């Protein structure tokens, strides 16, 4: 065919670039890992590595929900205060409903808050930034009110088992993190719903004209994000054996950073769960490493911020070359 | 009006190519002070591009511009403005949140120095006064709150605030009511009297005759008639120039009219505000039906309503004889309808998906399972690839955007063929597609129809419609005015039918009144070359049936009133058999331009007074418009 695809070589280039984004981030993660191993004798010790994964759990789980939302072209600023509020609600429910009941309350209320945000965004066309900014403020304020502005520390001790019972030699909170990543990755790549989420973020009009359920799958990511923020709250509470209404403050920034470092586009349609996992690990390693090296903790923000900006810059350079 | 000796603006041999599309291929125009110059052409003839080159919005690739005898090279609208050339855009370019006054003097923000609101206010009043519109615009109001006509007035005032000598109006009447059009024409007349030059870009022939002094006609990016005095032309002359003389080649490839299958999609009086007012047609199994008309006539919106992308407020859709009212595209897809929208990039392509996933997007929405089910379509995908010359399997993983427009379009069409649709709707299927791929898309659609699907094509390219479709329904200003075999049509007739007529509604009322009072048939038609082009007909049964319906294009002798059609107008002429008598009256707008003919056929030979009716018809037309 004369009109068929003149620029074959260019499509190879596109392929390489698109493939390289995650590869590049994985490379960066390995460089950070190797650098820290050399710089600090403590970094490679097995209890530090476990510690590293342990520290990834809260940001990691929240970032999965954030990935869903960002893939549709939205953003969820409320995850931190959803974590705080749902933890407080769980703490209040423990007395009457027991451990399982308390966890169910947390997950359901997290999902319900996400449903609320998602409906406002999808049905009324409000900007997700504004809606979730509002929900963020409301959530934090309700967390204070419900908890009476103090920590809840009378938590059933058995819940601590949730975090540290080993499953196949891995602490159960880390196992939960890995299971969530595997399920989310499979969902986004191999199901109708997952591909619809990508299609909506990439070109909502085309998704609509092709008959995909744009409304449903625009709301779903916010529900997932709310529920996963609550799940992160459950594990955090079990870890520290105390529920603080302030818990999860600024968590949304870490989650967005992880997703962006992982190569997702804030315009939607591009990104992956694997990329997000790498993003989370890079951030946690840098935090952990700077601690081990005894660097003033105030430098952490600069390091993380620099990486975010570099990641977005790379994304822009790549996407302008790909999309022309 | 005699043209002044030295033209104000001379554009010669202008060429412009966008991506691969040649928009201008040697366009020329000459405009003089104190004239309204019409710039005409069919859709895509390059009128708007030429205007934008002159006004600095688009840079030309080649050609010369001379302004007051000196070379002009506008690199931006600002350059053109400072020379004195302004454009009143189709979609206005105002800042909606600023006030009328701020918008009028927006270009002054680019000047150094302090703004002087009091002085501006006075100047704005003077400008509006000079246009006779001092009461029409509240200067302090936000532009957001204004009507389309008021916004246009702001644009005109904005042009006058920089003292533009040449003002280009790009399709200025597209969103105006008839009364507002009259007001605009008054303003234009005043501007002309003040010695300014105006360019009036339009494809509405009535308006061109109403307001222009000279016209330049464009076709396929070239000027085919330069600076012709409007008074020397008829509507048919202009249409012939717009369409071209070489009508012969169209007929060679006319599709065979095969016996129509059973009706698949019946649309009656479909109404989907604001654009679609009254659309009716019947689409049969195995046929390709064209929906012809001008851009903005409501064709795309009709397709969107049929596909559930746009709510419809009235009318009836029947699919396979059963009432069908899609509320979401998923409803339409489930019923076996596929839709290829007009704007590929915006409405079809998912840019982050591979060719494979773009191809399977329709499948994804029809698929009932939780997973993807891509494997269930593998065989059909391979078959389609072979049949349609699509990229081979290795390329399925490539990015859509690396392919030519034609290949992208084939992939989008194949997206629906994968679902074996019973009805396929296509909006401008060959827009931005090169000529080679065009014919393969035509072949593809023909094959789809031959296999028993019903295909509905919207196109602004009349040549394409005539080549591709066995029948054509013409849509004008949101209503179907004719549905006929494409064999009786050519581009010229199609253009005549499609031309929007602001007088349509008023004329319909007049016809109804005449028919009711006399018990006969009243019709409105154009006459050209021994043929009648019936635009509307009301009433008339039995003996008073003139033998044609709205949208018909019979030769005189094929009607039941040949004697009257051949006779001089102005009196009732009885047919030789004495069954019916017909009065033909030519009607003109109050500006004196030709609106065609009003006919009245009554039974028998005893007739009402012809002179009274002729006077009454002319009065009604004049006061209505």
Nearest Cα of chain A lies from the Cα of B142 at a distance, in angstroms, of 24
- For the segment B230-266, what is each residue's pLDDT rounded down to a tens digit? 888 877 788 778 877 543 333 334 455 555 689 999 9
pLDDT digits (tens, 9 = 90+) for B147-189: 878 888 888 888 888 889 999 998 887 767 667 778 888 889 9
Window from A166-170, A292-296, B138-142, B402-406 with minimum mean pLDDT: B402-406
Residue-level pLDDT at B257 = 53
| Angle, CA of B464, B261 and B541, to the nearest 5° | 90
Q: Which residue has the higher pLDDT, A110 or B373?
A: A110
Q: Where are the alpha helices (DSSP H) in B421-489?
A: 435-450, 462-468
Count CB neighbours of B487 within 10 A.
13
Q: Which carries the bigger pLDDT value, residue A153 or residue B21?
A: A153
Residue to mutate among A10, A183, A209, with most B CBs inside 10 A, is A209
Domains, chain A, ordered by start: 42-323 (1.10.3470)
Of B353, B372, B437, the CB nearest to A192: B372
Q: What one-character DSSP code corresponds to residue B344?
A: I
Q: How far is CA B141 from the centre of its chain?
A: 33
Q: Answer whether CATH 1.10.10.10 is correct for domain B264-498.
A: no
B101 within 8 A of B47, measured Cβ to Cβ? no
Res A120: pLDDT: 97
Q: Which CATH architecture has domain B9-243?
A: 3-Layer(aba) Sandwich (3.40)
Asked if B371 and A209 come within 8 Å (Cβ–Cβ), the reply is no
Quick one: pLDDT at residue A83? 97
* Mean pLDDT, residues B334-352 taken together: 92
Give the largest CA-CA distance in chain B.
Answer: 83
Residue A259 neighbours by CB distance under 10 Å: 31
Q: What integer pLDDT is reported at residue A166 of this predicted model?
A: 84
Q: Are B317 and B281 in contact (CB under 8 A)?
A: no
Neighboring chain B residues of A190 at a CB cutoff of 8 Å: 371-372
Question: Where does chain B hold its CATH 3.30.450.40 domain(s)?
Answer: 504-624
Correct CATH for B504-624 of 3.30.110.70, 3.40.50.1980, 3.30.450.40, 2.60.40.10? 3.30.450.40
Is the Cβ pair A205, B346 closer than 8 Å? yes
Where in chain B are all domains bearing CATH 3.40.50.300?
Answer: 9-243, 264-498
Nearest Cα to A208, choosing from A223, A192, A196, A219?
Answer: A196
Residue A7: predicted pLDDT: 40
pLDDT of B10 over the 90 cut = yes
Coil, helix or strand for B329?
helix
In this prediction, residue B505 carries a pLDDT of 65
Q: State pLDDT tens for residues B47-92.
A: 888 999 999 988 999 999 999 989 989 988 888 988 999 998 766 6
For residue B204, the model assigns a pLDDT of: 74
pLDDT confidence tier of residue A323, bands split at 50, 70 and 90:
very low
Nearest to B383 by CA among B334, B406, B358, B417: B417
The helix or strand, by DSSP H or E, that contains position B118, with its residue range, turns out to be helix B117-130
| B349:A15 CB<8 A | no
DSSP B160: H
As a whole-number percent, the residues of chain B with pLDDT over 90 amount to 28
> How far, in Å, CA of A196 to CA of A216, rounded?
10
Nearest to B25 by CA among B33, B34, B35, B15: B15
Q: Quote the CA–CA distance of B518 and B608 in Å, as a whole number.
A: 8
- H-helix or E-strand spanning residue B583: strand B580-588
Confidence of residue B32 (pLDDT cuts 50, 70, 90): very high
Element (H, E) at B284: strand B276-284
Chain A positions touching B366 (Cβ under 8 A) are 211
Distance from CA of B351 to the nearest CA of A (A): 6
How confident is the model over B94-153, as pLDDT tens digits? 888 888 998 888 887 777 777 788 888 999 998 888 888 877 788 888 888 888 788 888
Distances in whole angstroms, Cα of residue B427 to Cα of each of A3, B135, B518: 22, 43, 44
Half-sphere exposure of B296 (CA within 13 A, CB side): 13
pLDDT higher than threshold 50 for residue A271: yes
**Mean pLDDT score of chain A:** 88
Predicted pLDDT at A3: 35
The predicted pLDDT at position B625 comes to: 45
Cis peptide before B274 (omega within 30 of 0): yes
Residues 137-196, chain A: which have Cβ within 8 Å of B? Answer: 190-193, 195-196
Asked if B521 and B581 touch (Cβ cutoff 8 Å), the reply is no
User: Between these two residues, B488 and B336, which has the higher pLDDT value?
Assistant: B336
- Percent of chain A past pLDDT 90, that is, above it, reads 58
CB-nearest to A203 from B332, B350, B367 is B350
- Reading the block at residue B417, the tokens are 């063929």
B351/A contact by beta carbon, under 8 A: yes
């Amino acid at each position: 065919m004369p009109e068929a695809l003149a620029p074959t070589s260019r499509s190879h280039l596109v392929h390489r670039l698109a493939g390289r984004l995650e590869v590049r981030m994985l490379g960066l993660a390995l460089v950070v890992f190797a650098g820290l191993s050399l710089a600090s004798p403590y970094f490679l010790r097995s209890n530090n590595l476990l510690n590293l994964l342990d520290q990834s759990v809260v940001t990691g789980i929240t970032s999965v929900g954030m990935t869903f939302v960002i893939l549709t072209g939205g953003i969820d600023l409320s995850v931190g205060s959803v974590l705080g509020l749902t933890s407080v609600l769980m703490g209040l429910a423990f007395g009457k409903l027991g451990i399982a009941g308390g966890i169910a309350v947390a997950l359901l209320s997290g999902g319900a808050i996400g449903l609320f945000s998602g409906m406002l965004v999808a049905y009324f066309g409000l900007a997700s930034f504004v809606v979730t900014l509002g929900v963020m403020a409301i959530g934090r304020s309700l967390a204070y009110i419900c908890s009476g502005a103090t920590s809840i520390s009378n938590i059933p001790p058995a819940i601590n088992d949730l975090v540290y019972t080993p499953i196949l030699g891995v602490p159960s909170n880390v196992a939960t993190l890995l299971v969530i990543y595997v399920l989310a990755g499979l969902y986004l790549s191999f199901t109708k719903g997952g591909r619809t989420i990508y299609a909506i973020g990439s070109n909502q009009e085309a998704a609509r004209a092709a008959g995909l359920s744009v409304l449903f799958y625009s709301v779903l990511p916010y529900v997932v994000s709310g529920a996963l923020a609550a799940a992160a709250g459950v594990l955090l509470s079990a870890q520290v054996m105390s529920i603080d209404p302030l818990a999860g403050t600024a968590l949304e920034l870490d989650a967005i950073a992880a997703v962006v470092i992982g190569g997702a586009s804030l315009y939607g349609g591009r990104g992956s769960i694997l990329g997000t996992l790498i993003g989370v690990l890079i951030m946690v390693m840098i935090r952990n490493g700077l601690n081990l090296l005894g660097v003033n903790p105030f430098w952490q923000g600069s390091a993380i911020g620099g990486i975010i900006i570099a990641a977005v810059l790379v994304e822009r350079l790549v996407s302008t070359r790909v999309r022309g | 009006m005699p043209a002044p000796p030295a033209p104000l603006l001379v554009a010669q041999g202008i060429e412009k190519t966008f991506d691969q599309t040649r928009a201008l291929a040697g366009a020329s125009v000459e405009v003089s002070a104190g004239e309204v110059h019409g710039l005409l052409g069919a859709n895509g003839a390059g009128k708007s591009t030429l205007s934008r080159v002159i006004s600095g919005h688009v840079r030309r690739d080649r050609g010369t511009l001379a302004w007051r005898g000196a070379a002009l090279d506008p690199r931006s609208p600002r350059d053109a403005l400072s020379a004195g050339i302004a454009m009143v855009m189709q979609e206005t370019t105002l800042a909606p949140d600023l006030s009328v006054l701020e918008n009028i003097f927006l270009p002054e923000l680019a000047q150094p120095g302090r703004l002087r609101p009091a002085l501006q206010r006075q100047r704005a009043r003077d400008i509006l006064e000079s246009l006779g519109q001092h009461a029409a615009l509240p200067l302090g109001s936000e532009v957001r709150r204004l009507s389309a006509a008021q916004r246009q007035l702001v644009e005109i005032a904005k042009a006058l605030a920089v003292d533009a000598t040449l003002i280009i109006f790009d399709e200025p009447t597209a969103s105006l009511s008839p009364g507002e059009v009259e007001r605009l024409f008054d303003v234009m007349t005043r501007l002309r009297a003040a010695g300014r030059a105006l360019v009036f870009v339009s494809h509405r022939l009535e308006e061109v005759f109403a307001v222009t002094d000279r016209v330049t006609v464009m076709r396929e990016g070239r000027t085919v008639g330069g600076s012709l005095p409007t008074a020397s032309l008829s509507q048919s002359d202009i249409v012939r120039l717009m369409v071209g003389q070489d009508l012969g080649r169209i007929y060679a490839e006319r599709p065979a009219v095969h016996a129509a299958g059973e009706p698949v999609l019946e649309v009656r009086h479909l109404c989907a505000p604001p654009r679609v007012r009254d659309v009716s047609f019947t689409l049969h199994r195995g046929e390709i039906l064209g929906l012809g008309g001008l851009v903005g006539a409501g064709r795309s919106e009709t397709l969107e309503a049929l596909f559930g992308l746009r709510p419809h407020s009235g009318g009836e859709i029947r699919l396979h004889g059963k009432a069908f009212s899609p509320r979401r595209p998923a409803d339409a897809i489930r019923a076996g309808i596929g839709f290829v929208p007009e704007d590929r990039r915006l409405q079809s392509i998912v840019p982050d998906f591979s060719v494979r996933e773009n191809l399977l997007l329709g499948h994804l929405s029809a698929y009932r399972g939780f997973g993807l089910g891509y494997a269930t379509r593998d065989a059909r995908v391979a078959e389609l690839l072979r049949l349609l010359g699509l990229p081979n399997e290795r390329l399925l993983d490539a990015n859509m955007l690396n392919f030519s427009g034609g290949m992208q379009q084939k992939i989008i069409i194949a997206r629906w063929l994968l679902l074996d649709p019973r009805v396929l709707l296509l909006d401008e299927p060959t827009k931005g597609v090169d000529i080679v791929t065009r014919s393969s898309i035509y072949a593809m659609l023909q094959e789809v129809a031959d296999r028993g699907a019903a295909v509905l094509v919207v196109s602004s390219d009349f040549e394409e419609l005539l080549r591709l479709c066995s029948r054509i329904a013409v849509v004008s200003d949101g209503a179907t005015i004719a549905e006929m075999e494409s064999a009786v049509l050519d581009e010229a007739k199609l253009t005549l039918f499609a031309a929007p007529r602001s007088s349509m509604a008023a004329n319909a009322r007049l016809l109804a009144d005449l028919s009711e009072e006399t018990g006969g048939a009243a019709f409105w038609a154009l006459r050209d070359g021994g043929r009648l082009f019936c635009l509307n007909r009301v009433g008339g049964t039995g003996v008073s049936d003139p033998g044609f319906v709205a949208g018909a294009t019979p030769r005189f002798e094929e009607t039941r009133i040949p004697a009257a059609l051949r006779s001089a107008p102005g009196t009732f002429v009885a047919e030789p058999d004495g069954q019916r008598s017909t009065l033909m009256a030519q009607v003109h707008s109050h500006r004196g331009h030709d609106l065609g003919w009003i006919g009245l056929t009554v039974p028998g030979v005893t007739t009402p007074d012809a002179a009274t009716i002729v006077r009454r018809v002319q009065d009604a037309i004049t006061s209505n418009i």
